[in-house]
Structure 1
């Protein structure tokens, strides 16, 4: 057992070294994304100019009144075979419903 009144023995000083390697971060796809968004913006602008400048949009500048009369001959089919006459069914009486009667006295 050790004496509590005695100071602890000298310990050697320990040095810890930590090495941190920072790698470069690559930006993948940033250029492609910019080209894609820019292309979409240009397409939207071209469609807007075409719709509002050439009359394809809300206020068309050209007259669209068209009067067309089309007369086409109707095709005529040849006569098909004639169906035989159906036989006349025999007369059938409608079903009868029994009349209610009082219960037998018993």
Structure 2
């Protein structure tokens, strides 16, 4: 055990030599994939619009059969709904005196 009244030994710390590390990052090829995705999506939209506008001059609505059909369905007669009971007259609620103070 050491004597608490004696100061501890002096320890000299020597700084390690300084070193500089240089990290060289490769050049980034920014956003080529995202740009290709956007351009591809725009091409698909233009192709769909072109197909709808110039679809060979055929109108699919002209080829539809006649839809003027007369439908007659015999439904059974239902019994009358039960009559609602008469409700008693109820007074609206009142505010006790003195009432709340009006807002300024």
What interval of TM-score do these two structures reach, taking the shorter chain for normalisation?
0.3 to 0.5
The higher-RCO structure (CA 8 Å, 6+ apart) is: 1
